[in-house]
Amino acid sequence: MALWSGRFEKGVSAFTQEFGASLPTDASMYAQDIRGSLAHAKMLVAQGVISDEDYAAIERGLSHIKSQMDEGAFAFDVNDEDIHMAVEGRLISDIGSAGARLHTGRSRNDQVATDIRLYAKDAIAELLAVNCELRRAFLDKADECFGIVMPGYTHLQHAQPVLLSHHLLAYAWMFTRDFKRLLDAYSAADANPLGSAALAGTTYPLDRRMTTELLGFDHAIPNSLDAVSDRDYLLDLDYACSVAMMHLSRICEEIVLWSSTEFGFITLSDSFSTGSSIMPQKKNPDFAELTRGKMGRVVGDLVGLLVTMKSLPLAYNKDLQECKEGAMDAAKTLHDCMVIVEGMVSTMTVHEDVMRAGASKGFTAATDVADYLTKKGMPFRQAHETVGELVLYCEKNGKDLADLSIEELKGASDLFEEDIVSALDIDAIVRARTTYGGAGHDAVKVQMEEAKAALEADRKRIPA
C-alpha cells in the first residue's frame, strides 16, 4: 500500500503504478536520500519534535538500509514508487512507529529537491576533478610536443604555421572555461530546500540552518515555493555539460581528421581504435566519433528540461519528475567522454614530419611575405595584393613561394631582397609570433605557464 493512500479508496492499476514511478531513475540517489533523512531526523530530535529513542532507531534503521543498498542486497518492493518511498517504507517495516515519525514536517517535494541538489553537487564535484585530469593530459602533450610545427587553418584551409602546442592549448583554455561553468552550476545547486515542506513551510519548529550545516549547503533557500519548484541549477548543469561536450566534439572532429590517411598527422593507440568486420586494414577512430555523436544527447537533455520547465505554475508539479534523468545522463555522458578524450590524447602518436610538411604547403608563408614588403615601406593593402598575385603565379606554374627565384620575386616588387629567405622559413615564421597569446615559441611558453597555474588553482577549488 502506498504511504499516501489514506485519501484513496482504490489503488492504482499496475500500469499506472509503473507509468508514474521514478524508481528506475532515482534509485541512484539513495545515498543522498538517506543523508537528507538523517539530517532531518537529527534536527527533529534537537528541536524536541521526536524523542531521542525515535532518533536512535531511525539512525540505526537508515544505516542498515544504506549498507544493504551499498552491497546491492536491498530488495525493492513492487509498489515502491520512488527511492524516497522505498527507503521510508522499509524503515517503517523495520523499526515501526519511529520510522513513521521521520517524515514529520517534511514533504516529498522538499525531500526530492534536497536529494537532487545533493546528487548534483556530488556529480559536479566529480566532473570538476575529471576536467582537471583532461586539462593535464592536454598540457602534458603540449609539453611533450613543444616545437612541432603544424599548419593552422581557417575554413579548414591552410592558413599559417603554428605550434602543435599552441593548438592543444586552445582546447586546454576551452576546458578551463568549462571548469568555471561547472563550478557555477555547483554554486547554484548549493542551497538547502529542506524544511520548505510541500510548498508553504510547516508549523513544526524546524531549524533549517541546522540542516543546512549538516548537509553542507551554503545557505537555506529563502522562499518555500521557489525551493520546491526550482530546477534552474539542473539547467545550469545541463548547459555546462552541453558546452563542454561541444568542446570535446570539436577536438574529436580534429582527431578523426588527423588520424585519416589524407592527413596522417597522428596515429591513435590501439586501445582507442577499432577494426572492421570485413576490411582487415581498417583502424577506425570509433571512440572519437562516438564522443562527437554523444554531444547530441547532452544537448537534448538540456532542451528537454527547458521544455519541461516551460509554463509550469508554482509550486510542485509531477512534470518535475522528468528533470532528473536528463541531468543524470548529461553528467554521466560528459564524465565518460572526458575520460575517453583524455586517454586518446595521452596515448596518440604525433607524426612530426607529416605535420611539418603540411605546414609548408598551401602558401602558409604568404602573410609573412606581405609583412616583409610592408616593413620595407609598401602599404599593407598593396603588399597583400602583390603577394596574392605571386600566389596566383605559383599556382599556374606549379610552384610554392619558397621555390621562386629572386628574379621572379623582383618581377613582382623591387623591394624583394635576398633576406626574403627568412620570411619563407617555417620555423622563423612561427617564432616571430611573439605577441601575448601568439603562436610563437616564447609566447607559447608564457601561455603554458599560465595554463598550468590556472589548472593548479582550479584543483584547489574542487569541493571536498
Of 397, 360, 374, 444, nearest to 150 by C-alpha is 360
Spell out, as residue ranges, where the chain has pLDDT lower than 70: 1-12
Pair 420, 405: CB distance under 8 Å: no
pLDDT of residue 12: 66
Q: What is the pLDDT of residue 10?
A: 66
pLDDT at site 78: 80
Place of cell 547554484: 188
335 shares a domain with 246: yes
308, 330, 353 - which closes a domain: 353
DSSP state for residue 281 in the 8-state scheme: T
Q: What is the CATH number of the domain that holds 399?
A: 1.10.40.30
Q: Is 153 helix (H, G, I), strand (E, B) or coil?
A: strand
Q: Is residue 1 part of a domain?
A: no
- 129 and 98 in one domain? no
Contact 1, 85 (CB under 8 A): no
Pair (266, 392) in one structural domain = no
Q: DSSP letter at 312?
A: P
Q: What does the block give as the cell for 34?
A: 538517506
CB-CB contact of 388 with 183 (8 Å): no
CB burial string 225-247: b at 16+ within 10 A, e below: ebbbbbbebbbbbbbbbbbbbeb
Residues 113 and 95 in one domain: no
**Which residues, at least 6 apart from 47, have a Cβ–Cβ distance to it below 8 Å?**
204, 205, 206, 207
How many CA atoms, within 13 angstroms, populate the side-chain half-sphere of residue 225? Answer: 4
Question: Looking at residue 18, what is its pLDDT?
Answer: 74
What is the domain extent for residue 409? 363-432
Specify the DSSP element, H or E, that contains 307: helix 286-309
Whether 300 contacts 254, CB under 8 Å: no
What are the backbone angles phi and psi of residue 15, rounded to the nearest 5°?
Answer: -65, -45
Same domain, residue pair 136 and 56:
no
Cell 552491497 sits on residue: 71
- pLDDT single digits (tens) 379-400: 999 999 999 999 999 999 999 9
pLDDT given for residue 9 in this prediction = 62
Has residue 437 been placed in a domain? no
Of 348, 350, 356, 345, which Cα lies nearest the Cα of 145?
A: 350
Whether residue 304 is found in the same domain as residue 327:
yes
CA distances from 179 to 120, 124, 143 (A): 15, 10, 21
The answer on 56 and 94 residing in a single domain is yes
pLDDT score at 131: 98
Please tell me the pTM assigned to this model.
0.93
Domain with residue 63: its CATH number is 1.10.275.10
Q: Is residue 179 part of a domain?
A: yes
Three-state DSSP class for 384?
helix
Amino acid at 64: H
- Residues 324-333 have pLDDT tens digits of 999 999 999 9
Spatial separation of the C-alpha atoms in residues 324 and 33, rounded to whole Å = 14
Q: Which three cell numbers stand for residue 337?
A: 567522454
Identify whether 446 is part of a domain: no
**Given the DSSP bridges, would you call strands 191-192 and 219-220 parallel, antiparallel or unpaired?**
parallel
Q: Does one domain contain both 328 and 421?
A: no
Q: What is the pLDDT of residue 19?
A: 81
pLDDT score of 178 = 98
Let me know the angle formed at the C-alpha of 28 by 308 and 245, rounded to the nearest 5 degrees: 60
Task: Please report where in the chains the cell 538523517 appears, as a residue.
Answer: 38
Distance CA 165, CA 90 (A): 57
Residues with a catalytic annotation lie at: 155, 276
Q: How many domains does the chain have?
A: 3
342 with 407, same domain?
no
